[in-house]
Amino acid sequence: MMTHAAYDCDVLVIGGGIVGLSTAYAITRTAPGTRVTVLEKEWGPARHQTGRNSGVIHSGIYYPPGSLKARYAVRGAAELVDFCAEHGIAHAVTGKLIVATSRGELPRLHALVQRGRAHGLPVREFGPAQIAEYEPEVRGVAAIRVGTTGVCDFTAVAVRFAAEVSASGGQIRYGAEVVAVDRRPWGVAVRTSDGQVVRARVLVNCAGLHSDRVARLAGDDPGARIVPFRGEYYELARPELVRGLVYPVPDPAFPFLGVHLTRGVDGTVHVGPNAVPALAREGYGPTVVHPRELAATLAWPGSWRIARRHWRYGAGEVHRSLSKSAFTRAVQRLLPEVTEADLRPSPAGVRAQAVLRDGTLVDDFLIRDAPHTVHVLNAPSPAATASLPIGREVARRALQRARATGWTPPAVESGHCV
């Protein structure tokens, strides 16, 4: 058994996105004095999914009752609004319209009303006249308004989590990419690309687009691969065309798809994202190719199975990605006034979507733990909204795993990791 002093820290978190930082924050709150270190490969927090998304505080209406997504989004949205208010972070609870543009979409819209009410959400049904009252330029045959949806600055939330962790004695190291993990009977030793070694009782993997690779480095089989899907946006040159958040009725098979209109906290309106296969895990442009990552994606049987199953949908997304006029036509179904000239390219994000060997897209959040490790293997949207409850759950599991090494929660705050 190692002595307490021989560990550099009790819990080592890999990944300084919103999930890793929320986990570290939850540890400092639930077990003050626990020595926690976060290793992030970039030179600051939130440089990947957390800093490249739609900035929407989701209500939870889309997700099946009982799923982690539904439970954590409904609770997380309310907690996030309180967190932003407490810490002076830009946010607004604007509500959102989900708009049916054809009668064929009405049964799915009505099903969403039922689901929203089952989740206890404030949902109102609108006809065309009420749509025009809220969004004069938006056209639809019917809509619903979900009152608890909002917008916020997720990068600022992540930065605040980091500041709170540091203030509680935790350590956050940037420019520290984990390249090797050595699993021992007493815990884990990780090595960073600059040759530093950190020994911990428990490793928490919140590496987002690289979470499956980190799990394998630690000797655990993730059972899935991250398949990266780029989400491209345009910025609306005439933001006055949209007052708030406007979404199409989702396809139940792909609730995260469907180009939407989002007025952010800074008043800019973004149109998007689509979902096209990315040729690198951090492939933010169509020409970014990482041959080794691409080969690994293609070697995973699940990638081919999704391609075979969903090629028609995928082809439509790729077409709208390559053709701005096709993209514009898709937006015009909701916003007839928009023209190609109104759409200016804006930075893209890449979703970390876990895919099983049989081609199933993992729908719910997926957290797995084993002796000395906790892995967050699927944390797509709405994980930013749900970051507070997810962080608490990951922290709970990490502390449970730490106890199995003989660790006990400190009675008093006791400084930080070396």
Ligand X SMILES: Cc1cc2nc3c(=O)[nH]c(=O)nc-3n(C[C@H](O)[C@H](O)[C@H](O)COP(=O)(O)OP(=O)(O)OC[C@H]3O[C@@H](n4cnc5c(N)ncnc54)[C@H](O)[C@@H]3O)c2cc1C
Select 17 or 359, whichever has its Cβ closest to ligand X. 17
Exposure on the CB side of residue 103, measured as CA atoms within 13 A: 0
> Of 36, 89, 189, 209, which one interacts with ligand X (CB under 6 A)?
209
Select 19 or 227, whichever has its Cβ closest to ligand X. 19
Residue 229's beta-bridge partner residues? 277, 351
The residue written with tokens 């800093």 in the block is 51
Closest distance to ligand X from the beta carbon of 46 (Å): 6
Alpha-carbon span 274 to 71, nearest angstrom: 26
- Applying the rule CB under 6 A, the residues between 176 and 195 that interact with ligand X are 177-178
- The closest residue (CB) to ligand X is 17
* Contact region with ligand X (CB under 6 A), list: 34-42, 117-125, 291-299, 339-347: 34-42
Closest distance to ligand X from the beta carbon of 3 (Å): 27
Q: Does 61 bind ligand X (CB under 6 A)?
A: no
Select 145 or 351, whichever has its Cβ closest to ligand X. 351
Q: What angle do CA 173, 174, 176 make, to 5 degrees?
A: 85
Could you tell me which of 347, 300, 336 has the C-alpha nearest to residue 131? 336
Buried residues in 366-392 as b, exposed as e (16+ CB within 10 A): bbbbeebbbbbbbbbbbbbbbbbbbbb
> Of 13, 19, 123, 143, which one interacts with ligand X (CB under 6 A)?
19
Select 52 or 372, whichever has its Cβ closest to ligand X. 52
Copy the structure tokens of residue 121: 């959400």
Q: Does 248 bind ligand X (CB under 6 A)?
A: no
Q: How many Cβ atoms sit within 10 Å of the Cβ of residue 163?
A: 15
Closest distance to ligand X from the beta carbon of 73 (Å): 8
Copy the structure tokens of residue 13: 């978190």
Closest distance to ligand X from the beta carbon of 144 (Å): 18
Select 48 or 91, whichever has its Cβ closest to ligand X. 48
Select 214 or 388, whichever has its Cβ closest to ligand X. 214
Q: How many Cβ atoms sit within 10 Å of the Cβ of residue 32?
A: 15
Strands (E), 166-223: 171-173, 178-184, 187-192, 197-205
Q: Does 13 bind ligand X (CB under 6 A)?
A: no
What x/- string results for residues 305 through 344 when contact with ligand X is judged by CB under 6 A? ----------------------------------------
* Contact region with ligand X (CB under 6 A), list: 13-21, 106-114, 117-125, 327-335: 13-21
Count of helices and strands (H, E) across the chain: 10, 20
Alpha-carbon span 341 to 328, nearest angstrom: 9
Return the DSSP state at 241: G
Buried residues in 278-306 as b, exposed as e (16+ CB within 10 A): bbbbbbbeeeeebeebbebbeebebbebb
Q: Does 207 bind ligand X (CB under 6 A)?
A: yes
- Applying the rule CB under 6 A, the residues between 351 and 390 that interact with ligand X are 351, 379-385
* Contact region with ligand X (CB under 6 A), list: 50-58, 159-167, 297-305, 408-416: 50-58
Select 20 or 33, whichever has its Cβ closest to ligand X. 20
Select 125 or 194, whichever has its Cβ closest to ligand X. 194
Interface size with ligand X, residues (CB under 6 A): 41
Copy the structure tokens of residue 353: 């979507």
Helix 154-167, helix 18-30: angle, nearest 10: 40
Alpha-carbon span 295 to 298, nearest angstrom: 5
- Applying the rule CB under 6 A, the residues between 68 and 107 that interact with ligand X are none
Q: How many Cβ atoms sit within 10 Å of the Cβ of residue 111?
A: 12
Which residues sit at the interface with ligand X, rule CB under 6 A?
14-20, 39-42, 47-50, 52-56, 58, 177-178, 206-210, 214, 231, 273, 349-351, 379-385
